[in-house]
Structure formats: structure tokens, C-alpha cells
Amino acid sequence: MARICMHRMQSQNPVASVIPFTSRVFGETGRVASRFLSSTAQVPYPVPASSKSVSRCSSYSRGAVTLGCRCLSRGAQISNSLPLSRTQIARISFISQASSGRVGAEQNVAKSREGREILVQHLLVKEDQLPVLLELQRSITQEGLDLSDLATEYSICPSKDEGGMLGWIGLGQTDPAFEAAAFGAPVNKLVRVKTKHGWHLLQVLGERQAMKLEQIQVEEFHERMQDPSFLEEAQLIDVREPDEITTASIKGFDAYPLSRFGHWAPNIADDLDPEKETYVLCHHGMRSMQAAQWLQTQGFTRLYNIVGGIHAYSKKIDPSVPTY
């Protein structure tokens, strides 16, 4: 039977936020799993203390999970980072048509960033508060104020609690118009974006190579398990809940339930070796994929998500493992 990892449980509280999409599709386990995609790790610049935890604002369109940010929605209008004249403001609608069509310089910059991820921070004000946004931008560029501090004080987006951090995003993960603005922006240059929710002031803080997550079928995983040294050399993680593990389990897996993420996550690099092959299992492969993606941000480089989870293992490999 897999052991339950309960390290330092007395001092931590579970992450509270949940998301509508994942909650509807996956229920309670989906709500727990949704925490992972908002992790902001390996940040290559000094991040304020409030920004080092998981972000509450990583709004991903096209069916990906989100923590409820209203910022990245369709119909965005994009402007450059220079102060706008009244004439320019009047022409923003026209500008946005070109931007949403992915033409011009923004498209070229975005294309050059294929296979890469960008770290994005922003603040949001209401549509009628463009003068406020311009003043905030001026205070950053001319007075040296910090976008994180201003986001905490002035932003109406839930990400204000994290200093406006949206986390690492890749192409195809966000609304096309917002993506065009973010991926078209040079690193550390302020860019204004208008959506139906108001005006955003965003900044790309860094770039990195997008991390690829290996997917392994249960047949190949089972074949590897036949090697007597496999269980000694590999790390096997089961992110299902304790009652699920009681119902069905596979020998050799250690349990790291997502509901206890706040307890074991801070010490994961001490409990496990980031350089070892690590295989992640759940019921059908969704929670394990999200957990593996988070582990990547913690420096784990040899990660495998078991496709189809323990359900596929039972159906295709070992019928003695109960299904549920």
C-alpha cells in the first residue's frame, strides 16, 4: 500500500481558490488540481514577497483551467507603450482589428517566440480610468515606482494579491488578442491593452524555453516496471486522494494527495530527487499532468505523466486493480 505523505501538515493551510471550469468538469478533485497551473517558479528577477506564491490570475482560454481572472478575454484592443493622444484613443478600435488579425510586428515577435514561454505581470483599471492608467505608467517610467506595488494598490484584477503576476504563459494558452500584446512586447517594456474589462498595463518580465512534459502509455510503463532495478531508480508519485488509493493502488507508488498540496509542496525537492526519473499517476491522467507541470517548475527534468492513469492500467494491464 502506498504511504501517505503528510509532511509538516500542522503549519500549512490548503490553497483556497477554485475555478468554475475545472470544478464543473472534475468536481472536487478538479478544484484541487487547478492550483498547479498558476504556479510561478524559476523567476529570473527579484519578485516581491507577495508574488512568490501561486498566482490567482492566470486566465487561460480554450478550455484550459483558470483561477477566475477576468482579464484575458476576447475583443482586446491593443496600444503601444507610448502616451496616447485623443486621436490615438479614437483610433484604437481600428488598431485592434489589425492586432487581432495577427499582422504586423507583433506577429513577427510572437512567431520568434514559438516554443518559448513568457512571464507576465499586469494591472487592470476600469475602462473610464485611462487617465489613471497613464499616470500609473508615468510613475513607473519616470519616478521608478514598482508595477507590483501599484498593482496591489490600484488593480481591480484578483491578481492584485500577487502583485499582478499572471505567471508563465505560452502561445495558444491565452486569448489571441492578449497573447498578441504580450508576445509582441519586448522584455521589461510596458504595454497597454484594452479589453471589455478595462485597461491593462502589462510587462513581460522574462522568457524561457517551454518545458516539454513526457507522456507515457501504461503499456510502456508496465514494461519498464519489469526491470528489477526500476523501483529503486525511479520515483513513483500518486496524486489521488487517500480514499481513492484505498480503493485501488499500484505497488511502489508514494501518495502525494493534491488536497494536501500545501503541506508537501514546500519540501518536495527534499523529499524527492529532481534529477531522478519521476512518474506521476492519478485516476485518468489529468491531475497527474497538472502535478507534473508544477514539478517541472520546481526543477524536475525527467518527468513522465502516465496517460489514462490507474483506470487505463486496470483496463489494459492488470484487471485485478479495481476500477471506480
pTM over 0.85: no
Question: Considering 5, 57, 69, 282, which one is annotated as catalytic?
Answer: 282
Span 3-22, average pLDDT:
33
For residue 72, which of 202, 208, 160, 210 has the smallest C-alpha distance?
202
Q: Domain count of the chain?
A: 2
Annotated catalytic, 69? no
pLDDT score recorded for residue 109: 54
- For 42-94, write each residue's pLDDT tens digit: 333 333 333 333 333 433 332 232 334 544 433 344 444 433 333 333 333 32
For 227, which DSSP code?
S
For residue 5, which of 302, 306, 322, 267 has the smallest C-alpha distance?
267
Instruction: Give me the CATH number covering residue 232.
Output: 3.40.250.10
Span 314-321, average pLDDT:
98
295: containing domain = 9-17+212-316
Q: Are residues 146 and 233 in the same domain?
A: no
- For 208-245, write each residue's pLDDT tens digit: 877 778 999 999 999 999 999 999 999 999 999 999 99
Q: Are residues 63 and 122 in the same domain?
A: yes
Spatial contact of 167 and 58, defined as CB atoms under 8 Å apart: yes
- For 100-137, write each residue's pLDDT tens digit: 333 444 455 555 566 788 989 999 999 999 999 999 99
Q: Is the pLDDT of residue 38 over 80?
A: no
Q: Which of 209, 237, 268 is the last residue of a domain?
A: 209
Pseudo-torsion of CA 309, 36, 187, 136, nearest 10°? 150
Q: Which of 209, 235, 254 is the last residue of a domain?
A: 209
- For 160-205, write each residue's pLDDT tens digit: 988 998 888 888 777 777 888 889 999 999 999 888 788 999 999 9
| Residue 27, domain member (yes or no) | no
Q: Are residues 164 and 264 in the same domain?
A: no
For residue 105, which of 185, 36, 31, 165 has the smallest C-alpha distance?
185
For 2, which DSSP code?
P
Q: Is the pLDDT of residue 28 over 60?
A: no
Give the number of other Cβ atoms within 10 Å of residue 166's Cβ.
Answer: 29
Q: Is the pLDDT of residue 35 over 60?
A: no
In this structure, what are the phi and psi dihedrals at residue 133, rounded to the nearest 5 degrees? -60, -40
**In sequence order, which residues have a C-beta less than 8 Å from that of residue 315 and are 6 or more positions away?**
308, 323
Pseudo-torsion of CA 15, 21, 27, 30, nearest 10°? -50
